[in-house]
Amino acid sequence: MSQILVVDDEPAICWAIQQALGDGGHSVAIAGSGEAACEQLAAGYRPELVVLDVRLPGLDGLALMDRLAPTLAGVPVVVMTAFGNLETAVAAIGRGAFDYLVKPFDLSQLVGVVERALAARAAHVTPNELVATDNDSAWLVGHSPAMQQVYKQIALASGTTAPVLITGESGTGKELVARAIHRHSARAAQPFVPVCIPALNPGLVEAELFGHARGAFTGADSDRAGLLAQASGGTVFLDEVADIAPPLQVKLLRVLEQGELYPVGSSQLRQIDVRIVSATNRVLEHELREGRFREDLFYRLGAFRIHLAPLRERVEDIPALVGHLLRRATPPGQTPPRPTARALAALQARPWPGNVRDLRHAVERAAAVSRLGVLDEEHLAMAGTGESLTASIPKVGGPEGDRAELSERLIALVAEWARVTETAGEGSLAPALHEQLLALVEPPLLRVALERTGQNRAAAAALLGLHRGTLRQKLREHGIDPGSGRGAGDD
């Protein structure tokens, strides 16, 4: 049995936690404020674990952690908050918090965290130290559960030197997360060097990354340090890391494993101290299966992974994002336009294929045409941010020409369907048209479902509301996956 102190000003939450932890055999004491907790400690009470809320009347949770540190050195602290953001996560983890939970949470989740914390204490495992700063990435905005998890992961990753792999669709803010990790790490005073792999000259990628010796190739008139060496002591951000060619992947692995590299055209080994944070909008597991990415490099880059959810899966963050974007788009000294409820509803109803980047452009264009300090739904349409049938096709189509052809064929089929059913009732052509419509729409829909679930058939079937056997049959029918063996996600 362990002695646990719960500090929260909401009696109902304290009671629920006391019951849940008590059922696990623990003895739970309650304090309704930071001052009350200090009084209990002053009276000689010594808990083996503390669960505390951040927002408390008077002495807040973070200040309480500072106050308790000398008395409860080595005692794990689990932080709770209903108002989590990156600053809070970094501050809590930086003060040594074992974990960070966002309300509301399942009591079973809290019980699991408490058990892990107590086991870690018994094994004398100490939390990672973290250098916290007041400067934060101004673009990381949102209080959705998905963003709360990202804040927590940034705080944890910042306290390590392990490579970090950030995944997510284009426009979700992967570089912002990389910058936040660097900014809150012990390397914050050293360089942060962003590198977009596809933007590099294909023939000079190795020289750009690793540097080159004089005379290594035509135009190499002098020795030159590469981008990795320029980031030495700091962090290099490799964006679209899946585009690195296989031969270069081997050399990058050496940097990760040994902290050393050979500049192009040089036989002299160079030692570097650099942390690598990488990102991709592809599913690296798929690239691995296709033989385009090395397995050993995949596991080294992904020692710590952070996934960014697409904007369509966290639409509750859109009002906060819109307000933030409008403030940034407004010249200094002027009041930003106020979005109406109709405008926010319209923005939340869109799929945002370009995610936050897409939203930013739409808001900035609408702000430019808004008047009288109000941004309404009509301003979105005036700025050309409305959706159309053809604009929505890219979510299920291929190249631009294919999308246009697909939309034209779809419109033609629907028109033909209407004509046949109107003139002939249940005429013989209707079933044939129905089959043509399915043959046109189903393949791109199936491909998108597989892409969004990382080629996981079970997840794709759930996303489409199909049985896995039905999905497998449709894949074979449309020639998307003609094989009958097990596929990714059949487990």
pLDDT tens for the chain, residues 1 to 491: 688 999 999 999 999 999 989 888 888 999 999 899 999 988 888 898 999 998 888 888 888 888 888 888 778 899 888 776 777 777 877 777 888 888 888 888 888 888 888 876 664 443 332 222 333 344 688 888 888 889 889 988 998 889 999 999 988 999 999 999 998 899 988 999 888 888 776 667 788 888 777 766 666 667 777 788 888 899 999 999 998 888 889 889 988 888 888 787 777 778 889 999 999 999 889 898 888 999 999 999 998 999 999 999 999 999 989 988 898 888 888 888 888 888 888 898 888 888 998 898 889 888 887 766 888 888 887 766 544 323 333 343 444 445 555 555 555 655 555 555 555 444 444 555 566 667 777 888 888 778 777 787 777 777 777 777 778 888 888 888 633 333 444 44
Q: What is the amino acid identity at position 4?
A: I
Taking the C-alpha atoms of residue 180 and residue 437, their distance in angstroms, rounded to an integer, is: 47
How many CB atoms sit inside 10 A of residue 206's CB?
22
For residue 461, the tally of other CB atoms under 10 A from its CB is: 21
Order of strands across the sheet that contains 304-307: 192-196, 235-239, 275-280, 164-167, 304-307
Task: Count CA atoms closer than 13 A to 241's CA, side-chain side.
Answer: 30
Name 212's bridge partners: 224, 264
Burial class (CB in 10 A: 0-12, 13-18, 19+), 221: exposed
pLDDT on residue 280: 94
Cα-Cα-Cα-Cα dihedral sign, residues 202, 206, 212, 218:
negative
**Number of residues written out for the chain:** 491
**Domains of the chain, with CATH numbers?**
3-122 (3.40.50.2300), 160-307 (3.40.50.300), 311-387 (1.10.8.60), 393-477 (1.10.10)
What pLDDT is stored for residue 295 in this prediction? 92
Distance of alpha carbon 432 from alpha carbon 454, whole angstroms: 33
Tokens representing 112?
């699991």
pTM of the predicted protein model? 0.57
